[in-house]
């Protein structure tokens, strides 16, 4: 098993990563009967894309001997109705500017081929922007 999720009541869950024991909570969003006091389940999916992009780029950067430390990803998740679902995820990356054009191209390809990107339904629009500004 990978994780365990406990329903706490009040539209809140506690999620535990079994190997490490790390936990986080989710809360239903305000626009879906919740309190919006934590990540919603769909927030975790969208955030998973950004986290996966940075992780995979970090793996490739290590191989290229490039330092991506302090790179960031900011994301916006858009929802659709009927059925209620994620319709679009925009990720804006801020990355070091002192990377060669060749390595930038490799890192962009790596980002766009991360496992979460491939795992999300094809109807979800995924927009990833790369700002080489750090």
Q: For the residues 59-79, what does the mean pLDDT come to?
A: 97
For residue 134, pLDDT over 90 is answered with: no
Cβ atoms 18, 28 nearer than 8 A: no
Cβ atoms 99, 132 nearer than 8 A: yes
Q: For the residues 57-65, what does the mean pLDDT come to?
A: 98
Contacts of 97 (CB under 8 A, 6+ apart): 132, 133, 134
- Please report the pLDDT score of residue 36 as a whole number: 93
- Specify the residue for token string 């879906």: 32
Domains of the chain, first to last: 3-32 (no CATH), 41-132 (3.30.300.20)
Q: For the residues 63-78, what does the mean pLDDT come to?
A: 97
Q: What is the pTM of this model?
A: 0.93
* DSSP label at residue 43: H
What are 89-132's pLDDT values in tens digits? 999 999 999 999 999 999 999 999 999 999 999 999 999 999 99
- Please report the pLDDT score of residue 128 as a whole number: 98
């Amino acid at each position: 098993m990978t994780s365990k999720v406990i329903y706490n009541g009040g539209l809140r869950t506690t999620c535990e990563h079994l190997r490490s024991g790390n936990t986080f909570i989710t809360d239903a969003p305000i626009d879906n009967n919740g309190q919006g006091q934590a990540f919603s389940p769909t927030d975790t999916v969208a955030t998973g894309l950004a986290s996966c992009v940075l992780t995979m780029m970090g793996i490739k950067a290590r191989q290229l001997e490039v330092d991506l430390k302090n790179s960031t990803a900011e994301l916006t998740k858009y929802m659709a109705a009927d059925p209620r679902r994620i319709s679009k995820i925009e990720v804006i990356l801020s990355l070091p500017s002192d990377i060669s054009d060749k390595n930038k191209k490799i890192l962009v390809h790596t980002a766009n081929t991360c496992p979460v990107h491939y795992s999300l339904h094809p109807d979800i629009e995924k927009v990833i922007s790369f700002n080489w500004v750090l």
